[in-house]
Every structure is written in structure tokens, then in C-alpha cells.
């Protein structure tokens, strides 16, 4: 399966801010998981996806109220039952948050279920993201 980015957007509002008046990490984590879930739901049934782990969510700079953020997410690696997404938060094309999330493909009882998905990384960027994801899955 070819790697394809799913893009979502959010407007940073007053209720999304922390005590410093910038985008709250908790709200960012919510958007982060949501975006990763959308990418996984593009390639398998959403009822079979659960979040296992956020592998870091690193900010490079604060984000202010009134900013529109773009959140591209894509599944970059598929294990037997796992799917690893790379998610970024961008402001005017600049990445301000980056990280990975592991989702597990489960049956209706919550037990891991093989998904039979193979992710085919073609671009240099996707090949590197896949290598990074494989390293995360080994931990």
C-alpha cells in the first residue's frame, strides 16, 4: 500500500491555550491522536483501531491563538497487528510539532488481530520515516 498523507486543520482558539497563552500540549495531543487515527482509518476499519502509544510529540516553537494549524498524518509502517503513524503540526508550512503514534488493529473484543497491510515507502522521506518507525517498534 502506498503511503498517503491525510491532512486536517484546526484553528487555535482561546480554550486551546495554556497558562502562557500558547497552544496547550494536551490539546495538541488530542489533535495528534485524532489525526493519526484518521490516517489509520483510511486503510482499515476504524472499529478495529486502538491507540497504543504516543512516541514523543516534540514542539519546536509555541503556537499562538488565531493560528490555523495544518496536521498531515500518514501510516509509515505496518507490523503484524500494529500501524505506526507519523504526525506533524505545521504553521504556514513550517513543522512546529513532530512525532509518531502506534495503533493496534484489534477484533471486536479488543484482542490484537492481524491486518495484512504492507506499507510501501517510495520517497526518501518516507523511507526514513519508515526506518524511524521500525526503530520505535523494536522498543
Question: For the chain, what is the mean pLDDT?
Answer: 96
pLDDT on residue 100: 97
* CB-count burial class (<10 Å; 0-12, 13-18, 19+) for 75: buried
Interatomic CA distance for residues 70 and 73, integer angstroms: 10
Interatomic CA distance for residues 97 and 77, integer angstroms: 20
Percentages helix, strand, coil for the chain (3-state, rounded to 5) are 30, 40, 30
What average pLDDT score do residues 12-33 get?
97
Digit-coded pLDDT (tens) for 96-115: 999 999 999 999 999 999 99
Please list, in sequence order, all residues whose beta carbon lies within 8 angstroms of the beta carbon of residue 30, skipping any fewer than 6 positions away.
none
Query: Would you tell me how many other CB atoms lie within 10 Å of the CB of residue 87?
Result: 28
pLDDT on residue 2: 79
**Cell numbers 522521506: residue:** 125
- In the predicted model, is pLDDT for residue 138 greater than 80? no
Q: Domain locations in the chain? A: 6-137
Q: CATH second-level architecture of 6-137?
A: Roll (3.10)
Digit-coded pLDDT (tens) for 38-82: 999 999 999 999 999 999 899 999 999 999 999 999 999 999 999
Amino acid at each position: 500500500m502506498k503511503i498517503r498523507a491525510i491532512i486536517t486543520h484546526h484553528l487555535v482558539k482561546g480554550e486551546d491555550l495554556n497558562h502562557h497563552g500558547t497552544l496547550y500540549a494536551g490539546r495538541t495531543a488530542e489533535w495528534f491522536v485524532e489525526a493519526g487515527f484518521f490516517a489509520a482509518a483510511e486503510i482499515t476499519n476504524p472499529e478495529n483501531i486502538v491507540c497504543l502509544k504516543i512516541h514523543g510529540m516534540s514542539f519546536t516553537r509555541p503556537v499562538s491563538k488565531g493560528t490555523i494549524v495544518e496536521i498531515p498524518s500518514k501510516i509509515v509502517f505496518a507490523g503484524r497487528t500494529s500501524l505506526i503513524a507519523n504526525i506533524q503540526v505545521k504553521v504556514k508550512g513550517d513543522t512546529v510539532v513532530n512525532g509518531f503514534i502506534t495503533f493496534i488493529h484489534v477484533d471486536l473484543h479488543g484482542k490484537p488481530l492481524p491486518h495484512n497491510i504492507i506499507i510501501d515507502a517510495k520517497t526518501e522521506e518516507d523511507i526514513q520515516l519508515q526506518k524511524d518507525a521500525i526503530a520505535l517498534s523494536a522498543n
